[in-house]
């Protein structure tokens, strides 16, 4: 082997070992770390990192976190007197039970509303919606509510992404 080839071989082996692909481990193939799921588009049953469920059902993730989302009511904000919005909204009540073995941070959570296949506005209303807590202790339960603008639509897809876990899409028809 020539000197240049030897230097090249050492350089390649060094780079492979830095990337986790070198020999010496049980598995010589590198598996890239999974990307956090993207919750910012219409649900796709083929999308890796997405869990699809019915509105009202409970989903348990691999780490022990249990989530559910259901329609609490359909409302028009100006019916409550202090809001100038006359559009229809679905009040989505989200419940979480932390069985992960550690405190669960909800800061940075991603929430999406899709109505009849079209991204829809998510809104907060004083006295109507309830903000999630920033942390849920291990073994703790919590609930909060989100408002999704419905327009004239009837099919709601409510996406929820927490940290690097799979995103959960709760889907169903909105009954009035």
In angstroms, the Cα distances linking 141 to 53, 99, 119 are: 20, 9, 29
- Interval 100-115: pLDDT, tens: 999 999 988 999 999 9
The angle at the Cα of 13, spanning 11 to 18, to the nearest 5 degrees, equals 95
**Closest to 83 in 3D by CA, of 128, 145, 130:** 128
- Mean pLDDT on 94-100: 97
Q: Residues of the chain with pLDDT > 90: what percent?
A: 57
The angle at the Cα of 133, spanning 138 to 65, to the nearest 5 degrees, equals 40
Q: What integer best gives the mean pLDDT of the chain?
A: 78
- Interval 122-163: pLDDT, tens: 999 888 899 999 999 999 999 999 999 999 999 999 999 999
Most confident listed range (26-35, 45-54, 94-103, 126-135)? 94-103
The tokens for 140 are 């703790």
Residue 172 clears pLDDT 50, i.e. is over it = yes
Range of weakest confidence among 41-50, 116-125, 165-174: 41-50
- Interval 50-89: pLDDT, tens: 899 999 999 999 999 999 999 999 998 876 655 566 789 9
What is the model's pTM? 0.71
Q: Residues of the chain with pLDDT > 70: what percent?
A: 68
């Amino acid at each position: 082997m020539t000197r240049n080839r030897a230097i090249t071989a050492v350089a390649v082996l060094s780079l492979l070992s830095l990337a986790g692909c070198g020999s010496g481990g049980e598995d010589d193939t590198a598996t890239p770390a999974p990307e956090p799921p993207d919750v910012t588009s219409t649900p796709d049953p083929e999308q890796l990192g997405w869990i699809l469920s019915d509105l009202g059902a409970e989903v348990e993730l691999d780490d022990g976190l249990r989530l559910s989302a259901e329609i609490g009511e359909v409302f028009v904000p100006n019916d409550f007197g202090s809001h100038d919005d006359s559009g229809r909204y679905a009040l989505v009540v989200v419940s979480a039970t932390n069985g992960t073995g550690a405190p669960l941070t909800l800061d940075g959570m991603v929430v999406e509303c899709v109505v009849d296949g079209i991204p829809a506005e998510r809104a907060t209303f004083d006295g109507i919606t309830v903000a999630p807590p920033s942390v849920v202790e291990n073994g703790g339960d919590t609930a909060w509510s989100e408002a999704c603008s419905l327009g004239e639509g009837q099919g709601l897809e409510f996406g929820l992404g927490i940290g690097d876990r799979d995103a959960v899409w709760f889907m169903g028809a909105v009954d009035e």
